[in-house]
Amino acid sequence: MARRRLTPASPSPAPDGPRSARPAGLPGMPPIASVAGEAATEAALAELTRGLDQARAEGRLILALPLADIAPGHLSRDRISVDEEEMQALVDSLQAHGQRTPVEVAAIAGPQPYGLISGWRRYHALSHLQATTGEARFATIQAIVRHPSTAAEAYIAMVEENEIRVGLSHYERARVVAATVDLGVFDTERAALQGLFGAASRAKRSKIGSFLELHRHLGDRLRFPARIPERLGLALVEALRAGKGASLRARLASAAPETPEAELALLQAALRGDVSRAKHSAERRGPPEPTGRTELFPGVTLTISRGAGEIALKLEGPGVTEELHDEVHAAVLALRDRTR
């Protein structure tokens, strides 16, 4: 008997009424799977939004902000002057490769919604490029929005960024200490020194404190104070403490030096004159008489001499190093502070 081939039955369409419509979704997807997929997509988008919001709040999101929206003078800047060659190198780099490192800003009230915290050079280099080239790519700046809870936090962020990228002079450091005290950000100079330069050594903070005296007494007369080297600055502070402030101010006012070199030469000449007079006076009084000689520790001997109105301490030996000088200087300033 011949076999019959079996074929699957073909469903017949319903005689009346349209076919039932298939739910939206992928072809062949059951309705419950479509609903679950939409819910998962919404959850993923919500999670992404929360992540972006959190990154923005924590200062981990880099934004492209219009230059016009940023107030560069939001903080009293620590940097006084900028090396022209270094600035031109930054401009050339930005023009060739674009901005690679974001600046830091904070949301503020006023006509400009953001205030510059760090990145002063990058901001001004981009502003220069926008003004000179007119290219749209220089009209915005990559920035991270910080949320400092106090003005002190904003100043600390600015100082830390500059300490890492471009070392400031002791005078510039002292100047920002004075500015934060004058603005009421810190209550005292000691608090400002500790707050802004807490990570620095005690010797370094001591030197900044000395330059703070230089800024307070001669800041309005000096034209190029950021160029004063450390040793000259400390010598000037000693002259101020010896009552030479009025004569130094008079010299600066009458000479009005036009270049950093001229100002430095004037200050050095003023100190040489004071040293010469002091030496002549000491010769008339006679040399101090040694009263004791002690070996402080191996390699360092202390000699104490006493004369009319003075006590001379002399450290000598192979153990006398720059580090020892800094420690002794810091100890003397600490003694001065305790007697105030």
Three-class SS state of 228? coil
Q: How many residues would you count in the chain?
A: 340
Neighbours of 179 (CB within 10 A): 18
| Burial (CB count within 10 angstroms: exposed 0-12, middle 13-18, buried 19+), residue 120 | buried
pLDDT at residue 146, as a whole number: 87
pTM of the model: 0.53
Tokens of 82: 């900028």
pLDDT means per 10 residues, the chain with 340 residues, are: 54 51 54 64 67 61 90 78 79 90 89 90 92 93 88 83 71 90 90 87 90 93 90 92 89 88 90 55 51 75 72 82 79 64
pLDDT at residue 293, as a whole number: 75
Three-class SS state of 148? coil
Domain residue ranges in the chain: 51-167, 169-285, 289-339
Residues 306, 289: contact at Cβ < 8 Å? yes
Nearest CA among 276, 184, 169, 282 for reference residue 228: 169
Residues 173, 208: contact at Cβ < 8 Å? yes
Measured CA to CA, the distance from residue 227 to residue 288 in angstroms comes to 36
- 51-167 belongs to which CATH class? alpha beta
Tokens of 314: 């002399």
Measured CA to CA, the distance from residue 186 to residue 208 in angstroms comes to 16
Q: Transcribe 275-313 into DSSP letters.
A: HHHHHHHHHHH-PPEEEEEEEEETTEEEEEEEETTEEEE
